[in-house]
Amino acid sequence: MAPNIDSLLQSLTLEEKVSLLAGRDFWETVPVSSKGIPAIKSTSHKPTNPSLLTSSLYLTTSDGPNGARGAVFTGGTRAACFPAAVCSASTWDPSLSRRFGNALAEETITKGARVLLGPTMCIHRHPLGGRNFESFSEDPLLTGKLAAQVVKGLQEKRVAATIKHFAANEQETERLSVDEIISERALREIYLKPFEIAIREANPWAVMTAYNKVNGTHCDSHPLLLKKVLRGKWGWKGLIMSDWGGVNSTVESLDSGLDLEMPGPTKWRSSKVVSKAVEQGLLSESAVTDRARNVLELIQKVGGFENPTIPPEQSTDKPEHRQLIRDIAGQGLVLLKNANNTLPLTKEKTSGKKIALLGFAKEALIHGGGSASLHAHYKISPWEGLHAAFTDDVELHFAKGAHTYRQLPPLGSNCTGVNGEPGWTVELFEQGQKQRPIHTDYGRKESVFSPLLDSSAKWKDVRMSATFVPTQTGAHYLGCSGIGPTLVYINGEPIFEQENDCEDAMGFLFGGIPEKEFTYLFTKDQSYDICITSSPPTGGDHHAGILSGIPGFRLGFMYHEQHDEDLLSEAAEIARMCDFAVVFTGHTPVWETEGQDQLSFNLPKDGSQDKLVSAVASANSRTIVVNSTGVAVAMPWLSEVAAVVQAWYPGQEAGNAISDILTGTVNPSGRLPISWPKRIEDTPAYGNFPGVKKGGQLTVRYKEGVFVGYRHYDRLAKANVQFPFGFGLSYTSFKLKDASVTQEASGTFETAISVVNSGQRSGATVVQLYVGAARISADHPIKSLASFKKVFLEVGEEKTVTLSISLKDFAYYDEGSSSWKVDRGKYDFSFGQSAASIEQCVSVDVEGSCQL
């Protein structure tokens, strides 16, 4: 039976209330057993020592945005991998988001968790954002509407949603300390609006703060964000937790409204420190009580007091989840080009033909890197999906075609430790004392020392050594990186040195840190003593975050013949002999990941994928590109290929969903939730991403203001955009006609428009309603998305779509009066199938409004 929260709070001492406000260890909050308060256990937001995973208390939190991973970060209990948020957003279908939330809740419960760390709902400010794929869109309305439905889907099954990261977490570069200078108007209209929509429409039970600063103040203690807006103007009551390692103060964070510091043990909220602050009048006890209340109310909301036990993690592979994943991916894939109706590859076109499947055809790019990664139940590659779809008289041929690795694979084969057994020897030392090890471990399989496995090495120096016997003579390739200063020796001579910390410790963990390759001349069958030494990062918490003090490194190796192998010629030759060629391009999780922004607008590695597409297109005029990234990328070969499909990260059913689109089993209906520029120089944040560093502080100025995405491109020539926001092709065609707008006395607007399927196949399109002042002003976007609806139609069918909007849906934030305004005047209500394709426009005289 759930206790009365007020009575429970009255029974707690100040020390007991303080103990609730931070973690006991990496996952668990501190229980107050004598008062019947269990712990909240966080199982999987960030990795640490797996030996701690044996603890099992009643409530767990789990990543993440596209699946409930469970306790172990790598290789743990299998889980359903759903499409990434950007793929889900491409459906433009809130009903699918609701179903996704329901399924995600069911998955969360199988992992013994009742709080999910998601959805992620920051804005796609720049195409190089490393974590864009986890978020929905460049548009705040589309983001907010879809995220709200995910929240509803989760919480109606009594699993708490944690919307994140609040706020303006649009880059990974120095994310722990970067200071983002944003006007209040841009903050309100673009970066806070999706959170506001989710708060007002779905009431999420938890919010996670961002690592970064906004206008000089860290988000975990930001009075404007947490007190004035979130808990003040929006009137939201729920639990605010920090991102892991994202607390930067004691009094300020508590007073601003941050309820829970994670992980533990606490760095900022010891009973002694908080009690002293209360005694000195720096912090009121009522503030501590309010923070504790929110922790207890979250426990109550998810049923923790009623059922204080959890079952062990399970891997439950539900057929209905499989189908939902395939459905979301099928509606999220976007057909960007289809010259001469090259697609679909129907039986009539392909019977008795040869098809080349190249590039990532045999790899399933199902998710990005970092918190979104998980151990999927299974993953279907395009090769597998198309093999299942085509009849036996279709010949499929494969070639890799391009080198796409980011880091050389770790060295493991032909290595012997100091004990004469296979593997590497690891020795730990007190810092600066490398004469006598305090711990020795034998038999490490590879030249990797990972914080994921070795958190016990905190504040220790590490030495890893082995004798390596190469099987080939030559100048072979090596690459090394470390969290802290790292050295590599061969036969006692230093061959590599990293003097400083890496840029982002979590980026290192997720494989997103670039390594400089170098060569060393080896002789076949000769013995080489290799030694790697590394120290903890020196830059402090702002550099390493939760991995502060923990060393980590990796040494990669590749024989020169493999490294320099010509993969391109084989792919071009196979393409030449086939009737169709499908090139699968994209980013693997180490190329697009938490902890690291994109290095380039072009596909990796070093132009290899662009060269592959061009070579194949030269050899075969019916070349199709299927691209799997969470962001827009350069397409220098676009005019050379016949068709392009943007597949995003479509989850574990990737190959089947891609096959459905390519073969025409599913008519593509995905529409871009982002603008797709031709050049990085044309993007609104160009020159202001990821910022400028002065005096050790990275600062990024959001100089583009409210002109993000299509709001920016609307002011430029259409030639600057490769594909506009909201764009997507179909195997049929649609027309919009007979638009009408009625202004109601209540200040709402009732709109209607007819949609006709004028093509030869059933399918779906998205009706998009944009509103903007008829008189163009340099201070305001030409138009903004105000509403949308996806509509399915049979051949020749006509439907009337009605959309209702309010003044707030196209108001702007006036900083002078601190209010939302709609100026009096004429406004264009524009109906289209993309931001650049307006088919109907109705002008309406609006009286205007002001809302404080």
CATH of the domain at 594: 3.40.50.1700
Q: Could you give the count of Cα atoms lying within 13 Å of 746 in the half-sphere of its Cβ?
A: 6
35 and 165, same structural domain? yes
Angle between helices 319-332 and 94-110 (to 10 degrees): 140
Cα separation, 644 vs 633, in Å, equals 13
Phi and psi dihedrals of 553, rounded to 5? -165, 170
216 and 177, same structural domain? yes
CB 499 within 8 A of CB 537: no
Amino acid of residue 372? A
Cβ neighbors of 318 (< 8 A, separation 6 or more) are 80, 103, 106
536 and 428, same structural domain? yes
Total structural domains in the chain? 4
Cα separation, 560 vs 564, in Å, equals 6
Tokens in use for 628? 């799997």
CATH number for the domain spanning 458: value is 2.60.120.260
CA-to-CA separations, 24 to 302, 308, 392, 823, in angstroms, rounded: 20, 18, 59, 53
Model pLDDT, residue 1 = 66
Amino acid of residue 484? G
Strand, coil or helix: 293: helix
Of residues 239, 187, 238, 194, the one with CA closest to residue 213: 187
Structural domain including 487 reads 415-563
Edge-to-edge strand ranges of the sheet holding 819-822? 812-814, 819-822, 849-851
> Residue 322: beta bridge partners?
none
449 and 503, same structural domain? yes
586 and 558, same structural domain? no
Cα separation, 836 vs 727, in Å, equals 8
Angle between helices 193-202 and 140-155 (to 10 degrees): 30
490 and 457, same structural domain? yes
Q: Classify residue 655 as left (phi > 0), alpha (psi -120 to 50) or beta.
A: alpha
CATH number for the domain spanning 810: value is 2.60.40.10
Q: What is the DSSP code (8-state) at residue 313?
A: P
Q: Is the dihedral of CA 213, 214, 216, 218 positive or negative?
A: negative
CB 21 within 8 A of CB 54: no
* Torsion angle, alpha carbons of 650, 656, 658, 659, to 10: 180
Considering the domain boundaries, does residue 559 fall inside one?
Answer: yes
Of residues 619, 623, 631, 563, the one with CA closest to residue 404: 563
Considering the domain boundaries, does residue 707 fall inside one?
Answer: no
Beta-strand runs (E) in 86-202: 115-116, 160-166, 179-181
> Residue 440: beta bridge partners?
427
In terms of C-beta distances under 8 Å and separation of at least 24 residues, what long-range contacts does 414-419 make, across chains too?
Answer: 414/468, 414/469, 414/470, 414/471, 415/447, 415/466, 415/467, 415/468, 415/530, 416/466, 416/467, 416/469, 417/442, 417/443, 417/444, 417/465, 417/466, 418/442, 418/465
Could you tell me how far CA 729 lies from the centroid of its own chain?
25
Q: Of all helices (H) and strands (E), which one includes residue 328? A: helix 319-332
CB atoms within 10 A of CB 510: 25
Domain-ending residue, one of 563, 578, 613: 563
Interstrand relation of 115-116 and 179-181 (parallel, antiparallel or unpaired): unpaired
Model pLDDT, residue 55 = 27
Q: Which residue do the tokens 């009431």 mark?
A: 203
445 and 330, same structural domain? no
Report the first-to-last Cα separation within the chain, whole angstroms: 42
CB 494 within 8 A of CB 536: no
CA-to-CA separations, 628 to 50, 124, 611, 649, 651, in angstroms, rounded: 32, 17, 17, 6, 11
- To the question of pTM greater than 0.75 for the whole model, the response is yes
Considering the domain boundaries, does residue 409 fall inside one?
Answer: no
286 and 325, same structural domain? no
Please provide the DSSP assignment of 562-579 as one string: HHT---HHHHHHHHHHSS
Considering the domain boundaries, does residue 140 fall inside one?
Answer: yes
Amino acid of residue 739? A
CB 370 within 8 A of CB 327: no
Q: Which residue do the tokens 């132009």 mark?
A: 607
Q: What is the DSSP code (8-state) at residue 154?
A: H
Of residues 729, 732, 738, the one with CA closest to residue 757: 732
CATH number for the domain spanning 249: value is 3.20.20.300
Cα separation, 534 vs 735, in Å, equals 63
Considering the domain boundaries, does residue 388 fall inside one?
Answer: yes
Amino acid of residue 515? E
R_g (Cα) of the chain, nearest Å: 28
24 and 144, same structural domain? yes
Cα separation, 330 vs 328, in Å, equals 5
222 and 107, same structural domain? yes
How do the residues of the chain divide into helix, strand and coil, expressed in percent and rounded to 5? 25, 30, 45
Model pLDDT, residue 308 = 66
491 and 599, same structural domain? no
Tokens in use for 94? 């809130």
CB atoms within 10 A of CB 807: 20
Tell me the mean pLDDT per 10 residues along the chain, length 852: 89 94 76 74 40 34 77 79 97 98 94 90 97 98 98 96 97 95 98 98 98 98 98 97 95 97 91 96 97 94 78 88 98 98 97 98 96 92 97 95 95 96 96 89 94 81 97 98 96 96 84 88 98 89 78 96 97 98 97 93 96 98 98 98 98 98 98 97 97 95 98 87 97 98 92 98 98 96 98 98 96 96 97 98 92 74
Cβ neighbors of 289 (< 8 A, separation 6 or more) are 9, 17
676 and 739, same structural domain? no
Domain-ending residue, one of 530, 563, 596: 563
Strand, coil or helix: 731: coil
Report the catalytic residues: 243
CB 548 within 8 A of CB 539: no
Cα separation, 668 vs 91, in Å, equals 10
> Residue 533: beta bridge partners?
463, 487
Amino acid of residue 687? G
Of residues 296, 268, 292, the one with CA closest to residue 17: 292
Model pLDDT, residue 71 = 66
Cα separation, 90 vs 137, in Å, equals 9
Considering the domain boundaries, does residue 291 fall inside one?
Answer: yes
Model pLDDT, residue 48 = 37
Cα separation, 727 vs 669, in Å, equals 10
CB 642 within 8 A of CB 339: yes
Strand, coil or helix: 632: coil
pLDDT in tens, 267-278: 999 999 999 999
Considering the domain boundaries, does residue 749 fall inside one?
Answer: yes
Could you tell me how far CA 80 lies from the centroid of its own chain?
16
> Residue 162: beta bridge partners?
206
Cβ neighbors of 49 (< 8 A, separation 6 or more) are 26, 453, 454, 455, 456
Phi and psi dihedrals of 799, rounded to 5? -130, 150
Domain-ending residue, one of 508, 530, 563: 563
CB 754 within 8 A of CB 763: no
Considering the domain boundaries, does residue 410 fall inside one?
Answer: no
